[in-house]
Amino acid sequence: MSAPRGVEGAGGVTEDGVTGRKRTGRRPGITLSRQAILQAAQARFAEYGYEGASIRGIAQDAGVDAALIHHFFLSKEGLFAASIHDALHPEAVVEAVLSVKSVRGTGERLLRTFLGLWEAEQTGRQMRSILRSAVSHEAAARMLREFITQEVLVPVAEATGKTHPGVRASLAASQLVGLAMTRYIVAVEPLAGMDRDDVVAAVAPTLQRYLTGALPEPFDR
């Protein structure tokens, strides 16, 4: 999203999101305001779920006027989608998975990249927020499914050159989202406490089969 222009209206909102009547100091830049909104949104989504996180509450936590949230993201749905993008960085994920020009090992590279996001401090916190919101609200769950499938897994599946990339992407999504839920949210043992390499050894072959292996009928007729 390009840097926004100055915003007027709704109480004289300036480009940094602070109302003209009450402004006591300028926020240090529009980019920081946008990032503050995303951070506040992720925290609210984690605590209250998608339904319970209000635009007003997010704006209050971020220290901006609610009008700036609508300016950047249009709606709460748009803000949630941006929160997913901010946590997942789909372009970087796809680039990491496809950095080796061979279909061999695609499942392992995908899984290691995915686990790395979940187990890094900042992105792990962001992704927990998103997944907890998704399980509490159908619209949020749909957005998460569509984002992971369309922005990450379809490009990976298409790059393999195999048939039915959409089917392969949805199968891979079921594996990755299910793994995240059981390992990081519900914390089912012994999976939750397993070493990352052991998880890769157990799960990567399944992802590889989904992405490059034979599909059952009617797909491979």
State mean pLDDT over 4-15.
36
pTM above 0.85, yes or no: no
Q: What is the pLDDT of residues 186-207, one digit of tens each?
A: 899 999 999 999 999 999 999 9
Q: What is the pLDDT of residues 89-134, one digit of tens each?
A: 899 999 999 998 889 999 999 999 999 999 988 888 888 888 887 7
CATH-assigned architecture of domain 1-74: Orthogonal Bundle (1.10)
User: So where are the chain's domains?
Assistant: 1-74, 88-212
Cis check: omega of the bond before 205, within 30 degrees of 0: no
Task: Tell me the DSSP string of 92-130.
Answer: HHHHHHTTSS-STTHHHHHHHHHHHHHHSHHHHHHHHHH
State mean pLDDT over 149-174.
94
3-class SS of residue 13: strand
13 forms beta bridges with: 19
The CATH number that domain 88-212 falls under is: 1.10.357.10
